[in-house]
């Protein structure tokens, strides 16, 4: 039985997979509450910065996408949905596949570039998966392209959008029928994009703590640390625990239980993330993903990376899901006198 299957037909499941995956990828972006929200772990601007950082395709993102992250993000999502619809139904298959291949190749040169070994990054695999459809389209497969090239006897083709009324039925060329279907699929892509955007939930903004210049402890503390020590006996006792050289990040009240914040590491300037768990304990880690260097965030009780879905334990920094090859580096923070301090390491 399998020996009778033509090579073209054997590629049909791959075409459906690519098409449906692209539609899903577009919907997933637009339905993410944080996708267009600056400061969210999955904010498109944060993702683009991470993708552009030290990658060969970064200049393209810096020129066209990073200046307008929202437009770029929504544009890519709608394009993904349209490519996915076209490939799924097999219309303009070669052109849509070429666009998909181009998009995945750009992502290979940016988002997946630092993935090692290279085959763990999905974008290069996707780029090559598109290749048969760029070269041969949907030839030999169920596809609108083939129906329009060789329409069955008696097929009525519409010449424009809207219902066909009596007397308006006309035979047209496959090219004009393709254009009508393309317009309809573009409309469908916009409708899907609109619904995906509408169903997204609310985003709860994350917090940012700013490392101040005032050091604490060792008798060389700045005004803020000393002030914290004067606020009462308990504060004074707390202030004595502040290690020498610690840098004040901000009031402890700004980081309630179950919340996280990011700050600049006082030693390296790189982003770190601090988390207060449900018991009130503080943990802190480097916020630089060990996979490809994107800045991680905190969502649903775990540390998440917006770029390829890596996840880390919020209590240990260990990898719990996705491609990161190593845990996040731990950072030291202390809470004293109602303030939170970062201890350079």
Q: Residue 262 CB, nearest distance to ligand FES (Å)?
A: 15
- Determine the Cα–Cα distance for residues 345 and 275; give it in Å rounded to an integer: 18
CB atoms within 10 A of CB 204: 11
**Residue number with CB closer to ligand FES (29 or 308):** 308
Number of residues this chain uses to bind ligand FES (CB under 6 A): 11
d(CA 77, CA 196): 10
**Does 124 contact ligand FES by CB under 6 A?**
no
Q: Please state the closest distance from residue 249 (CB atom) to ligand FES, in A.
A: 24
Output the smallest distance, CB 151 to ligand FES, in A.
47
CB neighbour list of residue 12: distance below 8 Å, 6 or more residues apart: 141, 142
Question: What token pair was written down for 230?
Answer: 């004067």
* Residues present in the chain in total: 345
In angstroms, give the least distance from the CB of 49 to ligand FES. 12
CB of 150 to ligand FES, least distance (A): 45
Tokens for 192? 């899907």
Of 292, 326, 306, 271, residue with least CA distance to 52: 292
Angle between helices 93-109 and 12-30 (to 10 degrees): 60
Query: What span, in angstroms and rounded, lies between the C-alpha atoms of 34 and 38?
Result: 8
**Cα–Cα nearest to 72, from 39, 98, 49:** 49
Selected from 90, 137, 310, 337, the binder of ligand FES by CB under 6 A is: 310
Q: Nearer Cβ to ligand FES, position 294 or 340? A: 294
Q: CB of 321: closest distance to ligand FES in angstroms?
A: 9
Contact criterion met (CB below 8 Å) for 115 and 121 = yes
Contacts to ligand FES from residues 284-303, by CB under 6 A: 289, 291-292, 294
When binding is defined by CB under 6 A, the residue of 308, 328, 336, 340 that contacts ligand FES is 308
Of 7 and 300, CB closest to ligand FES: 300
Residue 317 interacting with ligand FES (CB under 6 A): no
Q: Pick from 102, 140, 236, 322 the residue near ligand FES by CB under 6 A.
A: 322
Stretch that binds ligand FES, among 161-169, 264-272, 312-320, 321-329 (CB under 6 A): 321-329
Contact flag: residue 122 with ligand FES (CB under 6 A): no
Q: Does 109 bind ligand FES (CB under 6 A)?
A: no
57 or 323: whose CB is closer to ligand FES?
Answer: 323
Task: Record the tokens describing residue 139, joined without a space.
Answer: 């030839």
**Binding segment (CB under 6 A) for ligand FES, from list 32-40, 55-63, 125-133, 305-313:** 305-313
Q: Do residues 239 and 255 touch, judged by C-beta distance below 8 A?
A: no
In sequence order, what E strands does the chain have? 207-208, 215-216, 246-251, 259-264, 271-276, 282-286, 297-299, 302-304, 311-313, 319-321, 330-336, 339-343
> Which residues contact ligand FES (rule: CB under 6 A)?
289, 291-292, 294, 305, 307-308, 310, 322-324
């Amino acid at each position: 039985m399998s020996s009778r299957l033509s090579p073209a037909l054997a590629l049909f499941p791959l075409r459906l997979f690519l098409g449906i995956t692209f539609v899903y990828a577009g919907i997933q972006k637009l339905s993410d509450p944080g996708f267009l929200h600056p400061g969210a772990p999955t904010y498109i601007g944060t993702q683009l910065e991470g993708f552009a950082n030290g990658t060969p395709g970064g200049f393209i993102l810096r020129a066209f996408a990073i200046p307008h992250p929202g437009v770029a993000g929504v544009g890519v999502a709608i394009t993904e949905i349209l490519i996915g619809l076209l490939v799924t139904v097999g219309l303009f298959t070669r052109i849509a596949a070429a666009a998909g291949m181009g998009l995945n190749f750009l992502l290979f040169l940016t988002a997946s570039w630092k993935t090692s070994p290279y085959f763990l990054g999905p974008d290069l695999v996707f780029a090559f998966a598109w290749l048969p459809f760029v070269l041969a389209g949907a030839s030999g497969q169920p596809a609108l392209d083939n129906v329009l090239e060789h329409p069955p006897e008696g097929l009525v083709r519409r010449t424009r959008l809207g219902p066909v009324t009596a007397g308006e039925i006309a035979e047209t060329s496959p090219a004009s029928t393709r254009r009508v279907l393309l317009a309809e699929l573009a409309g469908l892509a916009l409708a899907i994009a609109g619904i995906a955007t509408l169903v997204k939930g609310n985003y709860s903004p994350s917090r940012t703590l700013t490392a101040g210049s005032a050091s604490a402890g060792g008798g060389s503390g700045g005004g803020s640390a000393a002030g914290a020590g004067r606020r009462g006996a308990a504060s004074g006792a707390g202030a004595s625990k502040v290690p020498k050289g610690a840098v004040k990040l901000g009031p402890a009240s700004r980081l309630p239980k179950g919340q996280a914040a990011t700050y600049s590491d006082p030693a390296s300037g790189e982003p770190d993330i601090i988390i207060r768990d449900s018991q009130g304990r503080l943990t802190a880690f480097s916020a630089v993903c060990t996979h490809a260097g994107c800045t991680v965030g905190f969502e649903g009780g775990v540390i998440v990376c917006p770029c390829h879905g890596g996840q880390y334990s919020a209590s240990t920094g260990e990898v719990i899901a996705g491609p990161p090859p190593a845990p996040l580096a731990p950072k030291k923070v202390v809470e004293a006198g109602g303030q939170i301090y970062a201890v350079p390491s």
